[in-house]
Structure 1
Amino acid sequence: MRRLLAFLFFSAGLLQAAPQPNMVFIMIDDLGWADVGFHGGNAPTPNLDKLAAESLELTQHYVAPVCSPTRTGLMSGRYWSRFGITSPHSGQAMPFDTVTLPSALKSVGYETCLTGKWHLGSKPAWGPNHFGFDHSYGSLGGGVGPYDHRYKEGEYTHTWHRNGELITEEGHVTDLVAKEAVQWIGKRSDKPFFLYVPFTAVHLPVKEPEAWVAKVPAAITGDVPRHYAACIMHMDDAVGQIIAALEKAGKRDNTLLVFTSDNGGSTSENNDRKYPDDNYPTGKITASNAPLRGIKGDLYEGGIRVPTLANWPGTLKAGKFESPAIISDWMPTLCAIAGYEPATDLKWDGISLWPALKDGSELPERLLYLTGPGFRGSAVREGPWKLIVTQAKGQPQSAGPAQLFNLAQDPNETTDLAGKEADKVQHLRTKLAKVAKADKDAQVKK
């Protein structure tokens, strides 16, 4: 017994003495399921392919169907709909007193940095520095033109900033975002850090340097397809630079790196007329979500299930993590790893993935809830079953036409079983009504 007690005390001491890991969270914008080489993409992604081979891949990782909601879920640990955020959002997304992921980590000794796209408040007064980031740089608004760094015409078109001060710079947006990350890593001391890198790539409008377009495989033809492939390759190189910076700083082995996308790939017109004219190639974006059904904006798998990797050398084993997870899980997960314990109930909808990621076990079965743009559609997933409901105007979210899919048997959602599984549809409608009601109960003034 004495030996056992001595071992337990010794083990507890090791856990307490273990250094807090650094955390790098990379989020790509509009990256399709099959846009990466490790999912059969036609644009070479050697850095990501190497990372994937060394990582734990979350094969059923869900996000919102569009950008701002996903970012809200990551920053809060809650479903984005709790804040009324279901569409791209230029106003203030979260109340100032929200305990965010960076503010929680900062409270337990982390240095925090965002370099890239915020899109949770497009004025400096609503920027990242007001929500827990020590340092912030990039686009306060949404995806920007790669050279002029401007968002859509209107009140929020001038959005490029450093620590809340609007600035003007030259250079391609992918290079600038990566450079800021690399330089910030190089300046770190022994304190743990959280670095959030939400690239604007591969969001439209794409327009790549000729040097990158020239590297695109000859089999890819057409102006927009070649620029889109070049954008993917350019992004892949930027991710490689960040990994190299961690290695150079001697911080790679004690860094958890997460790679994901904010939603599925898009097929929208690249030369969007809402953006200031910068001679963008004309044609539709050629993202691929194959073999998944749907695109950005959809509640089908192609809109909400994205390539996701978790990498921590010597700590996480490479392989596949098959349990369904959602973007709102990352705040509880990273907080658990960092040793942050909330002083009050933060009403997280997400759970900590860490025990399961670490030992390779499955997560307990639970309900996942996803809302589409403007609450016009909602989905719930429980076990292999997924219900999508299109909201009827003036009716509750759970009352519209429904589609039902068994993802274990039909992962690409080819067969709607709603007509054959009436009891399952009703069961999930009831679950949807309950979780959707919590949205209204959770609404807070900003």
Structure 2
Amino acid sequence: MSAERFLLAFFIFAAAFAPASAAQDKPNFVIILADDLGYGDVGFQGGKAKTPHLDKLAAEGIRLAAHYVHPMCSPTRAALLTGQYASRFGVTGAQNEQAFPFGTPTMASLLSNGGYDTALIGKWHLGSGLDTPPDKFGFGYSYGLLAGGATPDTHEYKMGPHQRTWHRNGTLLDEEGHITDLITKDAVKWIGERADKPFFLYVPYTAVHVPINEPERWLKMNEHIEGPAQRLHAADVSHLDDGVAQILAALEKKDLRKNTVVLFLSDNGAHDDVDNKQDKYPGIDTRPHLTIRGSNTPFRGWKGGLYDGGIRTPAIAHWPGHWEAGVQDAPVSVTCWFTTLCSLGGVELPRAATGDGAHLNPMLANHAKNGPLEPMPIYSASPGYRARMVRLGDWKLIVTKGGGAKDKKGDRKELYNLKADPGESRNVIAEHPEQTAMLEEMLAKFAAHDMVVERDKGGKAGD
């Protein structure tokens, strides 16, 4: 063989095998997002529901004890995928309208451009119409709900234009089966079909969003809980836990666990008392009429609000061989995952997509060895901008429009030292004017970049 032919054959051989090798070096990403799961709803944080698989994942991974999201589902989902606080797009409550413009860089679109297979299996709720499905925002495959929380048996949204919402790749379909099982089954199948390319799988479950109805298996698992309402809620949590276990088992079966980053998160805190019959949803007579509530213990507040109960949620980060197990108390934002996963995936962020979050890998890789971290500011707005908050280090400021005063004039301002008062029970604003002034200035800078859009403000437990 001539030297020229040898070199040509060599380069053809190298070209054929180099991409696969490079692809194998990139980590896979799996994000599992629970719906309305409170800080105290899981066993590893003192919850009564049986969650053996999540407890094991938390013990083997990093439990993020101060992971902040937005107080409603659509905003958190927008922040997770774009790396920007959702109020940048005017998204502050649950909504069916398109959340952000076409062409907005998302985690899915950037990873897809970087050679990743991408899939969303579960709840989208960033544009409930057939003209705004996940595939228009970077997902190569999608299955589940275009709209928000749905009935567990017929997989329907609230009665109205988006009631029929179950789909595959933007085409509506009807299927039988419990909604949690269908989401899990499809996620497991999709993992089983992966070949050499790295992948990003986003699995936003509807559990534990009302309305709830659970098979006897999960009720029996939680028979230690007195009261049918709390037992039903716990059964839903345990059913979700089993779904997580099946996804992890699918990764193990393909020998992918060691090179897969797994995140378990929740979109907002648990809701206060809400009637499970949910008369806005079809099939009202098919589910238990019980008053359901979750647990945000030990924090104050609920879904829709800016006390920590509404925005500080369960979070686990796991990457075997890269992130040492333990507990990380430093406050972090859901916006950070956009920057972190894109960076780990070797994707260069466009200047317009730098986002509001930090790259967490240095912290996660060395959290057991490093001392106190430089605190990052955490910002959020409640539905309709009724209130805004900012946290920096131990200090948190909440400013509420109208302040709850009878004349609705002026704002109510609350300052809490979360290290001394994690339950936000004592407003110390009068005692710390300098700290208040600093946080007010920071809050104003964040708010200046918010987009005000007139929408249904939402913010109810069933949204």
> So what's the TM-score if we normalise by structure 2?
0.89
Match of 1:266 in 2: 271
Query: Is 1:419 aligned to residue 424 of structure 2?
Result: no
- Find the aligned partners of 2:287 and 2:271 in 1 and give their Cα distance: 17
Deviation at 1:421, TM superposition (A): 1.9
Asked if the contact 1:270–1:285 (Cα under 8 Å) also holds between the matched residues in 2, the reply is: yes
Match of 1:396 in 2: none
Deviation at 1:210, TM superposition (A): 2.1
Q: Return the match for 2:262 from 257, 265, 284.
A: 257
- Find the aligned partners of 2:91 and 2:80 in 1 and give their Cα distance: 13
Match of 1:42 in 2: 48
Which letter maps to 2:341?
L
Residue-by-residue CA offset, 1:248-268 (whole Å, 9 max, x unaligned): 011111100000100001122
Deviates more, 1:342-351 or 1:365-374: 342-351
Look up the SS of the partner of 1:434 in the other structure.
Answer: helix
- Find the aligned partners of 1:439 and 1:356 in 2 and give their Cα distance: 29
- Find the aligned partners of 1:383 and 1:319 in 2 and give their Cα distance: 20
- Find the aligned partners of 2:151 and 2:451 in 1 and give their Cα distance: 36
Asked if the contact 1:54–1:311 (Cα under 8 Å) also holds between the matched residues in 2, the reply is: yes
- Find the aligned partners of 1:167 and 1:256 in 2 and give their Cα distance: 31
Asked if the contact 1:113–1:195 (Cα under 8 Å) also holds between the matched residues in 2, the reply is: yes
Match of 1:227 in 2: 232
Distance change >3 Å, CA 251–CA 439, structure 1 → 2: same
Q: Any residues of structure 2 matched to 1:341-380 within 5 Å, and which? A: 341-360=348-367, 361=370, 362-380=372-390
Runs of 4 or more above 3 Å deviation: 15-18, 440-443
Match of 1:240 in 2: 245
Deviation at 1:18, TM superposition (A): 7.1
Match of 2:397 in 1: 387
Deviation at 1:271, TM superposition (A): 1.5
Residue-by-residue CA offset, 1:107-163 (whole Å, 9 max, x unaligned): 111000110000000012111011000000001000100001011111111110000
- Find the aligned partners of 1:17 and 1:190 in 2 and give their Cα distance: 7
Asked if the contact 1:34–1:289 (Cα under 8 Å) also holds between the matched residues in 2, the reply is: yes
- Find the aligned partners of 2:122 and 2:348 in 1 and give their Cα distance: 28
Deviation at 1:355, TM superposition (A): 1.1
Look up the SS of the partner of 1:102 in the other structure.
Answer: helix
Deviates more, 1:123-132 or 1:415-424: 415-424
Deviation at 1:338, TM superposition (A): 0.5
CA RMSD of aligned residues (A): 1.9
Distance change >3 Å, CA 42–CA 439, structure 1 → 2: same
Match of 1:282 in 2: 289
Match of 1:430 in 2: 441
Deviation at 1:284, TM superposition (A): 2.0
Query: Is 1:338 aligned to residue 341 of structure 2?
Result: no
Distance change >3 Å, CA 80–CA 31, structure 1 → 2: same
Which letter maps to 2:336?
D
Deviation at 1:85, TM superposition (A): 0.2
Deviation at 1:391, TM superposition (A): 1.6
- Find the aligned partners of 1:320 and 1:91 in 2 and give their Cα distance: 38
Q: Any residues of structure 2 matched to 1:301-312 within 5 Å, and which? A: 301-312=308-319
Distance change >3 Å, CA 176–CA 45, structure 1 → 2: same
Q: Any residues of structure 2 matched to 1:316-327 within 5 Å, and which? A: 316-327=323-334
Query: Is 1:23 aligned to residue 29 of structure 2?
Result: yes
> So what's the TM-score if we normalise by structure 1?
0.92
Query: Is 1:407 aligned to residue 418 of structure 2?
Result: yes
Look up the SS of the partner of 1:35 in the other structure.
Answer: coil
- Find the aligned partners of 1:71 and 1:421 in 2 and give their Cα distance: 35
Look up the SS of the partner of 1:390 in the other structure.
Answer: strand
Tell me how many residue pairs correspond in the alignment: 424
Residue-by-residue CA offset, 1:204-246 (whole Å, 9 max, x unaligned): 001001222222223x233322211111111101100000000
Asked if the contact 1:224–1:284 (Cα under 8 Å) also holds between the matched residues in 2, the reply is: yes
Which letter maps to 2:204?
P
Look up the SS of the partner of 1:191 in the other structure.
Answer: coil
Residue-by-residue CA offset, 1:6-63 (whole Å, 9 max, x unaligned): xxxxxxxxx9797000100000000011111111111111100111110011111000
Gaps of 5+ in 2: 1-20, 404-409, 455-463
- Find the aligned partners of 2:452 and 2:162 in 1 and give their Cα distance: 31
Q: Structure 1 vs Structure 2: percent identity of aligned residues?
A: 48
Deviates more, 1:339-348 or 1:284-293: 339-348
Query: Is 1:58 aligned to residue 77 of structure 2?
Result: no
Deviation at 1:392, TM superposition (A): 3.0
Asked if the contact 1:370–1:380 (Cα under 8 Å) also holds between the matched residues in 2, the reply is: yes
Asked if the contact 1:112–1:132 (Cα under 8 Å) also holds between the matched residues in 2, the reply is: yes
Which letter maps to 2:396?
K
Q: Return the match for 2:122 from 102, 116, 119.
A: 116
Deviation at 1:286, TM superposition (A): 2.7
Look up the SS of the partner of 2:448 in the other structure.
Answer: helix
- Find the aligned partners of 2:416 and 2:290 in 1 and give their Cα distance: 33
- Find the aligned partners of 1:31 and 1:152 in 2 and give their Cα distance: 20
Gaps of 5+ in 1: 1-14, 394-398
**Higher CA-based Rg:** 2
Asked if the contact 1:223–1:281 (Cα under 8 Å) also holds between the matched residues in 2, the reply is: no
- Find the aligned partners of 2:29 and 2:280 in 1 and give their Cα distance: 36
Look up the SS of the partner of 1:138 in the other structure.
Answer: strand
Distance change >3 Å, CA 40–CA 376, structure 1 → 2: same
- Find the aligned partners of 2:174 and 2:22 in 1 and give their Cα distance: 45
Asked if the contact 2:340–2:358 (Cα under 8 Å) also holds between the matched residues in 1, the reply is: yes
Deviation at 1:418, TM superposition (A): 1.4
Which letter maps to 2:401?
Q
Deviation at 1:442, TM superposition (A): 12
Match of 1:10 in 2: none
